[in-house]
Amino acid sequence: MTGPGGAAQPAAVERHTIDHVPDSERHGRTRDLFTMWFGTNIAPLPLVTGAMGVQVFHQSLWSGVLAVLVGQLLGGVFMALHSAQGPQLGVPQMIQSRAQFGSLGALLIVVVAAAMYVGFFASNIVLAGKSLHGLVPAVPVGAGILLGAAGSAVICLIGYRLIHALNKVATVVLGLGIVAGVAVVVARGLPADFFTRGGFTFAGWLATVSLSALWQLAFAPYVSDYSRYLPRTVRTSRTFWATYWGSCLGSMLPFLAGTVVALVSPDPDTVAGFDAAAGSFGPVLLLLFLFSVINHNALNLYGAVLSMITIGQTFRARWQPRLMARGAVSALVLAGALAFALGLSTDFVARFVNLVLVLLVVLVPWTAINLIDFYLLHRGRYDFDALFAPDGGRYGRFNAVALGSYALGIAVQIPFLATDLYTGPIAAHLGGADLSWLVGLIVTAPLYYLWARSRGIGSTEAHGDHEGVASTDPAAVQQAPGSGEALRPLSIEDVPG
């Protein structure tokens, strides 16, 4: 079936997995990214995370609100820069990482990303089980976990179009729902010390900023997976801003709601506290949260499945996985995540935070390397054949410059770490504020850029012509693929600023 201009209409059930999406199958608008990330972020887990500024770091209302806003607006920049790569490349983010780290070197990042997805998935379905149990007490939390996982699995199997469609609904329904919920909580009366409880401490404020920013950074490994079907003719800046404001505004609502609920309700379980504080509106919130968790969690399962397929394809270069492969891998990932979740149903919040903080230590340097490579070195031009070649093609099996920068980017973070597992000396001096992510970005980005430039990385593709190399320039990509016409690399005007 074809649409206007002869372009193929997108299938209801997604056929692609990690392969390149051809121009004939590109569809959608950049504003779809706003609803995608706004709807995705209104969920119980950011509500729980937002409450930690008050519950764990003992901030006052206003210092907690400011920390949330600063963290979201800062972290969203990096997340949106990754999203802007999707329409230009048409491949999942983890496949594109082979261009920086080599075909085998990238496996380290893919494994870490897969572990993070499974961790998020497990944490989310625990919340789904608790929400369902709160709505229908006769349903045990364990049974709720299984039902929530099944719903997410169906969405994941159908794929890209359903995920986008559900988030258009979620943007309106969940957005209005959480605003109404907070309004009901405030209208029912605030405790006398609502505006005076807690106080500003520099360490606690920095820790809250970090949690808020890390929420955005956690999307970096898979955000472009949901923009890769957009036409290559869309401008990079439009993709950036649609993603940025969708994700930041969508995250701010539950983060700030969590801050308010933590000050209103003494219950350490933020979801249960919101339910109780909202009175008769509480069951409505639980129902909305159940929908949001199932919807949000489909992304985590989808990302985990693509990562696992990427690992398999690395060792079987001629494998072309499609729908059946996605279904089979989904079942395997689902089984592992369920086992993890059922064992995580008690005290999951503290475990979740520690898991994410540890994983982000190894993802932050990857973010810096990937963005520097895409925007400043290769300027959006990559050899697709090499990305899927058994030996890595021009990118090789290992890139010593990227791997060396990556290792140093992890090492410099260690003194700034603050987790239950380990607290570095500088973090301890700052009262437990974890600034490792910021140090990792600041050190890794210039290190990789200067080291890569000294080795001539990116110079051939960024300045010469190569058939099969993608350009991020809208004017250039209007030419017929394979025409042999020169493709202009990404210019500074295309970068959002």
Length in residues, the chain: 497
Q: Give the CB-side neighbour count of residue 230, counting CA atoms within 13 A.
A: 29
What is the per-residue pLDDT for 65? Answer: 96
Token couple for 428: 């301890």
Write out the two tokens for 372.
């520097």
Give the pLDDT score at 344.
Answer: 60
Q: Name the one residue in this structure whose structure tokens are 């690395």.
A: 314
pTM to 2 decimal places = 0.84
| DSSP state letter for 8 | B
CB 337 within 8 A of CB 118: yes
CA 351 to each of CA 123, 232, 262, 357, 358: distance values in angstroms, whole numbers, following the listed order = 9, 40, 19, 10, 11
Q: What is the DSSP string of 476-495?
A: GGGSPTTS----PPPPGGGS
Give the orientation angle of helix 282-315 with respect to helix 323-342, to 10 degrees: 120
Helix, strand, coil fractions of the chain, as percent rounded to 5: 70, 0, 30
Q: Quote the crossing angle between the two packed helices 270-277 and 282-315, to the nearest 10°.
A: 150
Alpha-carbon span 37 to 218, nearest angstrom = 13
CATH of the domain at 238: 1.10.4160.10
pLDDT given at position 61: 94
| Residue 11 pLDDT | 57
Cα–Cα distance for residue pair 346/400, rounded to 1 Å: 42
CB of 167 within 8 A of CB of 31? Answer: no
Query: From CA 387, how far away is CA 363, in angstroms rounded?
Result: 20
Measure the CA–CA gap between 170 and 296, rounded to whole angstroms: 10
Residue 460 counted as domain residue = no
Helix (H, G, I), strand (E, B) or coil at 395: helix
Can you give the pLDDT at residue 270? 87
The pair of structure tokens assigned to 50 is 């937002």
CA distance 220 to 214: 10
Query: Would you tell me how many other CB atoms lie within 10 Å of the CB of residue 95?
Result: 27
What pLDDT score was predicted for residue 470?
46
pLDDT reported for residue 7: 47
Q: What is the pLDDT of residue 350?
A: 58
Report the C-alpha gap between 185 and 283 in whole angstroms. 13
Containing structural domain, residue 116? 29-359
What parts of the chain have a pLDDT lower than 70?
A: 1-17, 160, 321-323, 325-326, 343-357, 459-497
* Three-state DSSP state, 423: strand
> In this structure, is residue 105 part of a structural domain?
yes
Q: Which two tokens stand for residue 249?
A: 């505004």
How far, in Å, CA of 150 to CA of 144, rounded? 10
In a domain, 151, yes or no: yes
In whole angstroms, what separates CA 276 from the centre of its chain?
A: 30
- What per-residue confidence (pLDDT) applies to 213? 92
In 253-405, the DSSP E strands lie at: none
Which residues on neighbouring strands pair with residue 2, listed in sequence order?
Answer: 8
- Write down the pLDDT at residue 183: 95
pLDDT single digits (tens) 248-266 = 999 999 999 999 999 999 8
Report phi then psi at 237, rounded to 5: -65, -35
At 302 the pLDDT is 81
94 DSSP 8-state letter? H
**In 10 A of CB 496, how many CB atoms?**
16
The reported pLDDT for the residue numbered 462 is 45
Give the pLDDT confidence score for residue 347 in this predicted structure.
Answer: 60
Q: Report if residue 87 sits inside a domain.
A: yes
* 452 occurs within a structural domain: no
Give the pair of three-digit tokens for residue 398: 């290992």
d(CA 54, CA 277): 17
Total number of domains in the chain: 1
d(CA 373, CA 311): 22
Half-sphere exposure of 209 (CA within 13 A, CB side): 20
Decide if 290 contacts 209 (C-beta within 8 A): no
The predicted-structure confidence for 303-326, as pLDDT tens digits, reads as follows 888 888 888 878 877 777 666 766
- Phi and psi at 26, nearest 5°, equal -80, 140
Answer whether residue 435 is part of any domain.
Answer: no
